[in-house]
Structure 1
Amino acid sequence: MPDDNEHRQSQGFGLNRRVAAEALGTCLLVMTVVGSGIMGNTLSDDNALALLGNTLATGAILVVLITILGPISGAHFNPAVSLIFTLKRQLPRRELGFYVAAQVGGGILGTMAAHLMFNLPMIEVSLKARTGGPQWFSEWVATFGLIGVVLAGMRFEQKAIPWLVGLYITAAYWFTASTSFANPAVALARSLTNTFSGIRPLDLPGFIAAELLGALCAFALMNWLLRQPSVNV
């Protein structure tokens, strides 16, 4: 999630390296989400403990990935974030498709890598149902909050963005009924694992639509809320 300084720095890296950073970051993010879910479920029959392990690992890796890859690509790792920065004119429209493709591809590779580490088939279509109004509203809330955190962080505390995002996602795992996917690429990747963190492919359209709508609503509100105050002379 880029701040203004990172956006300027990232322009010094060619598109190929920025896209590679997006693919790598999304791969490591999904590998952590899926892998920690498998580990937590393996070590404990208590779903609350498994979710706690999943939560802490995901929040921690986000801090690391945004810190080290932010200066290269902006560390979006999320098509909803890339869409918002395209609307802000901080990511050229012609590059949006490359970012999204890298995020989706990296996410799928992350699921496959997690499966290989735990001796599972590389791809397993999920059978875990996650659907219905409360789940969709949860994803709207989760993504609305994520975009709000990123945009406000850019405005007021740019150096803290890795921690702000990591801590927000850590909290959102627990206050949303959906456990806060907040990311279309991650949702797609999680449909390919029939483990603790999975989601049925059938349920993806509702999640992705809610995530994109939440991102757009947050963009509209934060544009007004964070507008530079006018100075009366």
Structure 2
Amino acid sequence: MSQTQQWLIPQWPGLPDNVGVLSTTRRGGVSPAPYDDGMGGGGLNLGTHVGDQPHNVAANRSILRHMLPDDPVWLSQVHGTQVVNVAEVGPQQVPEADASISTRAGKVCVIMTADCLPVLFCDRDGKTVGAAHAGWRGLASGVLERTAEALRAAGAGELMAWMGPAIGGYQFEVGPDVMQAFMAGAVSDSDTRHVEAAFSTVAGKPGKYLCDIYGLARYLLHRAGVREVHGGEYCTVSNSARFYSYRRDGITGRQATLIWLK
């Protein structure tokens, strides 16, 4: 399998030369079905909490490790807004958090997903990097804003972001509670208009909406002062040959999106 097939390298204009980025796919690992690659080969499942055998996950993480300067600082993600500095996380620790930042070369921030939105951050000067897990709950609660705040507190200058593979807007069917969660955070007419624009009704399904999580994240990032946002062109549900998807398959693996200072 070629490097191009196995790894997704973010197309991120303006990314500083000293910042490394990588997003995994379901391809190139050892895990059997239902964590496989969808084509009869082993899958690169990186999640320890989804029912895959621990030795398979360990082997997959070892494959990923060869692409990185150090072991990633894995998180116990809970759809919250807690942000940790990976330089302060000890060996073998798995902090409960949904975002991480780094100002130290070689320390790797990582987010695992299987439909939720991974967002990578860096500043133009290449001083700080970060990664956030933005499912709709975390997104509505402010995980992207908290990550941007933590990066600025750590010395970041002008921030930019890249949105990794997530569920596409034409696949993400939700109930009114999701729309209401974002409306609750609207503090201006502009907020209300942007939230409304991210939801569309589903024909023949009263009370159901299609949610554009990429559109919501892009607006929330802009509102938080992150003006340059790239990515957002993938759909994990639709692309079964490349990505794991919980919405599509139920029992499935997890891919990872990573960023570090070189």
TM-score of the superposition, structure 1-length normalised? 0.27
TM-score of the superposition, structure 2-length normalised? 0.25
Structure with more helix by fraction: 1
Structure with more strand by fraction: 2
Structure showing greater relative contact order (alpha-carbon pairs closer than 8 Å, 6 or more residues apart): 1
